[in-house]
Structure 1
Amino acid sequence: MSTTPAIPAVTLNNGVEIPQLGFGVFQVPDDETTAAVSAALEAGYRSIDTAAIYGNETGVGRALAASGLPREELFVTTKLWNADQGYDAALRAFDASTAKLGLDVVDLYLIHWPTPARDRYLDSWRALERLVDEGRVRAAGVSNFQPAHLQRLIDHGGLVPAVNQVELHPGLQQAELRAFHARHGIATEAWSPLAQGAVLKDPAITGIATRTGKSPAQVVLRWHLQLGNIVIPKSVTPARIRQNLDVFDFDLTAEDMAAIAATDRELRTGPHPDQFN
């Protein structure tokens, strides 16, 4: 798979490559999504992350179709919502998502939350494994899974998730979870990579931004990349969309990385996976 030259690829545990920096559309209304995704594709993004619950898969699909880009240059992720968990329900939900996206194949399909009180994620995972077997999904993964949830899938004996997409930023660094991922060959993908702006005024980050001549957001995105995280910042502003991509011409020092590591404070912008159903 080719990517824009500036964006490195991460090779997943099944050999599929995903651009390390992609574009997210969480909380973007469907009627604004087409313009935002079109701006991202024009800027050079090739990985687009959506979800059934976002209500904007149709808008994403319109932008993909209008782009004129070859399908093999695009990497599209969507997610199975909680109410659609279960084997048969997951297969139906996938059909609905692909119809809205206008795609036959999704590059990455994720179970959006473990929803432990429902306890259907193992059945849902079997459905994702079937979709991979049928060639309709290139890589299967999960989102917001804790180590115990991941271990249960691994013990199931089928596919090991290729990706776990979790809330991750300097205020919530998830070191234990990232270590689990590393041991089991699961790629770490960060949603809310900037903590919805909550970390951008941290003195450690603003100080590095001043020294490097970059914005605090660019510093945080660079931190993610140097940790090896896949990252999907969201914006609807074309200038910010381009700025978030302009993070490959500088490096953070070991001292910078240590300073940002010291800002970890269990800051969640979203729900805790053990409680959300």
Structure 2
Amino acid sequence: MLIMRAFMSPGAYIGEQSSMYERDLRFRAWKAVRLIGLYVLGIVLYSLPLTYAGVGASATRSDPYPVVVDAATTLGWEPGELWTFLIAFAENSVFLIVGSVLVFVVMHAAVILLRTSNGPLQTVHTVVYVTGVYLAAIYSVVWTLSIVDSVEVADQIVLGVQSLFVDWVVGLTGADLELLGGTTTIPNATALTPMGRLLLVGLMVSVLYFLYSIYMGVRINHNGSRSAALGAVTFVIVSPALYVLGSVLFTIVTNS
């Protein structure tokens, strides 16, 4: 129901009026617990299928902790397998957690610069709902593209677009730098499989929902104007370019 609501009515899904956070401390504490629970649920729903599919699983050099051995014995699992599973789950979760933090920083910086901020709690509320469904959907599609052999062409298209974007930003600086591993060439789209096309469409739809949810988060949760909401979305869109520019500057400084 929650996921259906997220895609059928994203504004209602992420919306929360500022007055909700102006109530007494008890209500705000309950709201915080609810947000944390929803965020943890989103991480589990994202990371668990990936971990079961073998993403992130690798041989671990350290021995499992005694508590893991005890838990594995109780569950009837082999301790090494459970330890590897838990580490893979943690690795997969980190991607969504880091993404959530970055979205929060970029979005809240935008609403502060645009002078439409109603406080960090409103941004936290938006980010928890946004990352729990839309960002998780984007990551899941990208992971699927990278591990399923039958959609290799679609994966190369995504990598090629990313490569061209980075090359374009680097070209604007005039720096003589090359991507590690070289530039990925975008293959002919006629070689796409039906599943590859479906995943690319799913990726584009998820990105659009993600950006629209940022827009609605500013409009509803921060009571922002349309121009402020569009400004925040623009800030989110250009933030990868700012990251690339920062990386270029860092590389130039460290190599000089």
More helix by share: 2
TM-score tier by shorter-chain length is under 0.3
TM score, norm. by length of structure 1: 0.23
Compare CA radii of gyration and give the structure with the larger one: 2
TM score, norm. by length of structure 2: 0.24
More strand by share: 1
